[in-house]
Amino acid sequence: DQQVKQNSPSLSVQEGRISILNCDYTNSMFDYFLWYKKYPAEGPTFLISISSIKDKNEDGRFTVFLNKSAKHLSLHIVPSQPGDSAVYFCAASAYNNAGNMLTFGGGTRLMVKP
Amino acid sequence: NAGVTQTPKFQVLKTGQSMTLQCAQDMNHEYMSWYRQDPGMGLRLIHYSVGAGITDQGEVPNGYNVSRSTTEDFPLRLLSAAPSQTSVYFCASSRSGVTDTQYFGPGTRLTVL
């Protein structure tokens, strides 16, 4: 049973508009969450993270929101650019394994149309 | 800096063959890990290491062995390849643990016939 789920396999948005990527988790021990971005034929690259003591973290065009009661996080990209087209993975770490293991969601493919 | 390097980029094996996927990093990172990526499954942790001489199992360790004799290298060994091990394999490293930024290698695409 997947502990981290990204229920939308793909998302298409127009350039300049907002992209919202969603992620749900089931393990209440998760206390640190990350988003990674992946282009074809490359390894994932770190995008942004959030600790469970916060409900929002912002870095330029990227903002991650965490709703602990709903076990839900989302990544907002504003404004979206064609170069943002990639697969986005959310990932979570639990405090009971000392920050040594990441659990990934299945990914969402974002397509930003010019 | 080369970052995280992986060899080979592509490999085809027959069922029952063994092989080693190489991973090296030049950032003096203590934490290294191996993931496999399968369609719709995201990345799943196979094994990880928190320092030279220390390794531990991840989510899907069966059929794989690792060792960490140096800080720089973290090879992944397939003992007897099976078609279920057809996947893309990524190695990653970070200063210490997964809450630090992990740097991923470019991946090895493995096909087991």
| DSSP assignment of B15-72 | TT--EEEEEEESS--SEEEEEEEETTTEEEEEEEEEETTEEEE-SS-TTEEE--SSSS
Report the 10 Å Cβ neighbour count for B50: 18
Question: What is the per-residue pLDDT for A97?
Answer: 64
Provide the 8-state DSSP code for A50: E
Minimal C-alpha gap between A104 and chain B (Å)? 6
pLDDT tens-digit map of B58-93: 999 999 999 999 999 999 999 999 999 999 999 999
Say if the Cβ atoms of B92 and A43 lie within 8 Å: yes
Of B50, B56, B104, the CB nearest to A44: B104
- Mutation pick from B102, B103, B108, B109 vs chain A, by most beta carbons of A within 10 Å, is B102
pLDDT band at B1 (very low <50, low <70, confident <90, very high): low
A104 touches chain B (CB under 8 A): yes
- Residue B100: band (very low, low, confident or very high) from pLDDT cuts 50, 70, 90: confident
Chain B residues whose CB is inside 8 A of the A49 CB are: 99
Q: How far B98 CA sits from the closest chain A CA (Å)?
A: 6
Q: For residue A62, give the nearest of A43, A41, A42, A86 by alpha carbon.
A: A86
Structure tokens at A57: 């973290």
- Among residues A34, B86, B64, the alpha carbon closest in space to that of B56 is found at B64
**CB B113 within 8 Å of CB B14:** yes
Mean pLDDT of A24-42: 95
**A99 interfaces chain B, CB cutoff of 8 Å:** yes
Residue B22 confidence (pLDDT): 98
Q: Tell me the backbone φ, ψ of residue B108, rounded to 5 degrees.
A: -125, 125
Which pLDDT score, from 0 to 100, does residue B50 have? 94
Q: Which residues in B lie closer than 8 A to residue A94 (C-beta atoms)?
A: none
